[in-house]
Structure 1
Amino acid sequence: MTDDQTSPAVTVTLESGPAGSGSIDDFELFYARRALDRFRIRLGREGVLDLLAADIEEGNAFLRDCARASDGAFTAGTTVLAVGGLTSAAFLTWMDAAFAGKDERPLLAAHPEHYAMGADGIGARVVENIGPHVCSFYMGGWGTAAMAWAEDAAELLPESEFPRKMSSNLFLEDGTVVGRALIQFGDTADGFTANLTVYFPTSCPQDVLDHHLRHYAVEFRNWIVAAAAAQV
């Protein structure tokens, strides 16, 4: 079903049968994740990348064309998550360890359209969907000269309220900058707020940005839940 389609006017309610709590949607999500994890394990990292090689070439060409047509101009969108029961420091400690580790499975598990994550000779490589396009890009960290744009970003929040910040360019293997990311965390009385901003070239269709804001919500929610589980 596409985003533009509507479901038929029919309802299905689970009255009894399965033990434990959860809706039919919860059951389906569990089985979908289990099946996806099986394919990832059986194919292996290189197998997944080989399978998606043509898709990646097409997706990267799309981003490259958008970047060139936009001539350095970007459009921003932000997803905001309210988190209870975990501090931003605990979450970021888990994230740092996950990205530094050799096992990419905790990172991949956060979203069905995560295909590869990990460092190589160029930097931190991410292979995932950008809108409908499968893309392979790299990320760079806060504090480098290339990140000067973040210091003047309209989306930058007060240091006093959001002291933990990370920014990155998203760039292809040939160095073409195809996006940006600015993530900011501020602690609250019972947890923290995650302010997640992504930037894409202005010539990208709006649905590419819209989909990535949903992508952010899914992946960060699942990373946060995994970080919390690791504290137990």
Structure 2
Amino acid sequence: MTDNQTFPPVTVTLEAGPVGAGSIDDFELFYARRALDRFRTRLGRQGLLDLLSADIEEGNAFLRDSALASDGAFKAGTTVLATRGLTSGEFLPWMEKAFAGDEQPLLEAHPEHYAMAPGAGGFNVVENIGPHVCSFYMGGWGTDAMAWAADAPELLPEAEFPHKMSSNLFLADGTVVGRALTQFGDTADGFTASLTVYVPATAPQDVLEHHLRHYAVEFRNWIVAAADARA
């Protein structure tokens, strides 16, 4: 073999065996989710948070330092999802109920959801922000905390996207480390979700990119769960 020798890409296809539908990727995803659910169940909420305590401390320090260095400036990115077969009027009540205290479907929506539940300071989320495991709160902070949303460049016309939710993301000490703006509008056969996240302006670009992917995974799974709940 020479130093510059190249090989064609290797592909593996399933020709026979399992009788159920799905690809090898589908099988792997099923088993990965099952294994993750087992660890979550065995550890329990507090056990998982204890296990991740050092990661959370490091992740929150990253967010705090990024927010302070950015001096209140944020950069935004938006993930857009198109749903068919379900309206926003069917999805949003399901999501509201889940966020009111049904933690299990919230956790199941993404492998990097570690805790999601109402807390004394707001709705507490423990999840990855880019490569960092962070614990933050969603809601307002301070006087006129949500006024930014009315002037956000990402705000879409009310007539097309009448269902809007905005939030600050802040640490337990009150440091605002991000923002979220979600907007939903019905279409002829479903609805469109415009999901905008704001991270500190000095944060690496890949932090923003990975949260846009995070949005795609969690909201797709929440939408599917809401549709399944109709049965």
TM category, shorter: over 0.9
Which string of whole-angstrom CA distances, capped at 9 and with x for unpartnered residues, describes residues 145-172 of structure 1? Answer: 2110000000000000000000000000
Q: Distance in 2 between matches of 1:139 and 1:8?
A: 48
In structure 2, the partner of 1:99 is 99
Q: Which runs of 5+ in 1 are unaligned?
A: 1-6
- Is residue 60 from structure 1 mapped to residue 57 from structure 2 by the alignment? no
Q: Which residue of 2 aligns with 1:192?
A: 191
Q: Distance in 1 between matches of 2:117 and 2:25?
A: 31
Superposition pairs for residues 116-127 of structure 1, below 5 Å? Answer: 116-127=115-126
Query: What residue in structure 2 maps to residue 216 of structure 1?
Result: 215
Matches within 5 A, 1:1-232: 9-101=9-101, 103-140=102-139, 145-232=144-231
Mapped partners of 2:171, 2:146: distance in 1 = 16
- Matched residues in 1 for 2:10 and 2:97: separation? 46
Displacement after TM superposition at 1:123 (Å):
1.2
Q: Which amino acid aligns with 1:77?
A: G
Secondary structure at the counterpart of residue 146 of structure 2: helix
The share of aligned pairs that are identical, in percent, is 80
- Consecutive aligned runs of 4 or more in structure 1 exceeding 4 Å deviation: none
TM-score by length of 2: 0.95
CA separation in 2, counterparts of 1:89 and 1:115? 28
What secondary structure, in the 3-state scheme, does the structure 2 residue paired with 1:189 have? Answer: coil
| In 1, Cα distance between equivalents of 2:66 and 2:144 | 24
Q: Write the distance in 1 (CA, Å) between the matches of 2:68 and 2:214.
A: 24
After the TM superposition, which of the residue ranges 83-92 and 144-153 deviates more from structure 2?
Answer: 144-153
Partner of 2:3: none
Name the structure 2 match of 1:4: none
Please identify the structure whose Cα radius of gyration is greater.
2
Report SS of the residue matched to 1:173. coil
CA–CA separation in structure 1 for the residues paired with 2:221 and 2:132: 22
Amino acid at match of 1:165: K
CA RMSD of aligned residues (A): 1.2
Task: Give a deviation string over 1:160-200, Cα, whole Å, max 9, x none.
Answer: 00000000000000000000000000000110000000000
Deviation at 1:8, TM superposition (A): 7.6
* Counterpart Cα distance in 1 of 2:59 and 2:156: 32
Aligned residues between the structures: 223
- Residues 30 and 121 (structure 1), Cα distance of their counterparts in 2 relative to 1, 3 Å cut: same
Tell me the secondary structure at the aligned position of residue 17 of structure 1: coil
Q: Which runs of 5+ in 2 are unaligned?
A: 1-6
Look up the SS of the partner of 1:86 in the other structure.
Answer: coil
What amino acid does structure 1 have at the position aligned with 2:89? A
The CA deviation string for residues 70-114 of structure 1, in whole angstroms up to 9 with x for no partner, is: 00000000000000011101111000111112x411100000000
The one-letter code matched in structure 1 to 2:53 is A
